[in-house]
Amino acid sequence: MKKLINDPENVVREELSGIARAHGDRVEVHVDPHYIVRTDAPVQGKVALVSGGGSGHEPMHGGFVGMGMLDAACPGEVFTSPTPDQMEAATKAVDGGAGVVHIVKNYTGDVMNFEMAAELVRSEGTEVESVLVDDDVAVQDSLYTAGRRGVGATVLMEKIAGAAAEQRRPLKEVVDLCRKVNDNARSMGMALTSCTVPAAGKPTFELGDDEVEIGIGIHGEPGRQRLKLAPVHDIVEMMATPIVDDLPFKSGDQVLAFVNGMGGTPLIELYIVFNELASFLDGRGIAIGRNLIGPYITSLEMQGCSITLLKLDDELTDLWDAPVNTPGLRWGV
């Protein structure tokens, strides 16, 4: 295992210390329990957004704390969802009297820990609504399984709901917007290489020199299919087809196209992926109204990418364009 770390045990603590030193102008980092919070929290009268999840997906979620996006984020150990006491502390720290939204990616661990946290804070009188993100079409959805994973749509939801909260929209509207984003977004990921959890010390899975894994999650969970390495044209088609067919996205639709790097993929490749995606969508008569290209929801040093499409309307577009000032996403201010 080759990483720029000291002790695998201290990875998250030292990362948080780096974030605190780097972004003290915008965020405060609390240790024990760990959470990252806007320096101006709680913002009175504003719905507060709290998210969280395992570490190793940076900039998500800590990098999305700030004006126009999250009020707080709870980082767990690497790839391990955080604990209820973190979420409880973060929720209390950001509660500005207008209610708190928990943005929860649909993983058993995240769901159960956020559930326990919500039970705790509700019993103490804070109004909390939970929203689930489950946009990953690589996973079959069913009442009898854990359901789809939450992946790329999380970033879009945090941005869009964050803008709505910033406009002082009420709790119900913010929650409805979160659901609208989730309902209109679909994603799929793939990996060229595995990643290595620091504490595990070896790659989560092994891929041959000529193999790719399609339908990968963001925790190094193996995907559903292992295929021979193919030109990116074919790979994008394999990812975009189930995305488009699932919603379905139709001719005439406007979308936000999000090409996400898994952590070890250079930007040059992401632009090539985006180029293929744009051609693919041209062929389906789908217009790209907005785009986001880069490593925003990562899997440590994994090489690979994911594609997320979000069907846009004027409301979502305006909220996407609204100012945001976080370490990981910034414009308009």
Partner 1 sequence: MTVTHDDVVRWIRAFADAIAQNKDSLTDLDSAIGDADHGINMHRGMTAVLAKMDGDGSADIGALLKTVGMTLVSSVGGAGGPLYGTLFLRLGAAAAGKEELTDEDWVAMVTAGVEGVQSRGKAEPKDKTMVDALIPARDALASAVAAGEPFADALRSSAAAAEEGMRATIPLVARKGRASYLGERSAGHQDPGATSSWLLMRTAAETFGDHME
Ligand X SMILES: Nc1ncnc2c1ncn2[C@@H]1O[C@H](COP(=O)(O)OP(=O)(O)O)[C@@H](O)[C@H]1O
- Distance, C-alpha 63 to centroid of its chain: 11
3-state secondary structure (DSSP) of residue 227: strand
Nearest approach, Cβ of residue 37 and partner 1 (Å): 19
Nearest to 158 by CA among 139, 169, 146, 174: 174
Binds ligand X by CB under 6 A, chosen from 10, 17, 108, 291: 108
Binds a second copy by CB under 8 A, chosen from 170, 201, 248, 266: 266
Q: Which is nearer to Mg ion, 220 or 327 (CB)?
A: 220
Residues 216-255 binding a second copy (CB under 8 A) are 229, 231-233, 235
Applying CB under 8 A, does 9 fall inside the site for a second copy?
no
DSSP category for residue 155: H
Applying CB under 8 A, does 168 fall inside the site for partner 1?
no
Binds partner 1 by CB under 8 A, chosen from 13, 33, 269, 278: 33
Residues 207-236 binding partner 1 (CB under 8 A) are 217, 219-222, 224
Nearest to 75 by CA among 52, 59, 93: 52
- Which residue among 34, 57, 61, 102 is the active-site one? 57
Residue 330 binding partner per list a second copy, Mg ion, ligand X, none, with a CB distance cut-off of 5 to 8 Å that depends on partner kind:
a second copy
Catalytic residue list contains 233: no
Gap between the Cα atoms of 263 and 218, Å rounded: 10
Q: Going by DSSP bridges, is the β-strand pair 304-311/330-331 parallel, antiparallel, or unpaired?
A: unpaired
Gap between the Cα atoms of 90 and 120, Å rounded: 12
Catalytic residue list contains 102: no
Binds Mg ion by CB under 5 A, chosen from 48, 53, 58, 80: 80
Applying CB under 6 A, does 222 fall inside the site for ligand X?
no
- For 16, 80, 192, 327, the CA distances from 63, given in Å and listed in that order, are 11, 18, 25, 5
Residue 58 binding partner per list ligand X, Mg ion, partner 1, none, with a CB distance cut-off of 5 to 8 Å that depends on partner kind:
none
Nearest to 103 by CA among 79, 67, 71, 125: 71
Gap between the Cα atoms of 262 and 296, Å rounded: 8
Applying CB under 6 A, does 109 fall inside the site for ligand X?
yes
Q: Which is nearer to Mg ion, 110 or 134 (CB)?
A: 110
> Which residues belong to the active site?
57, 219
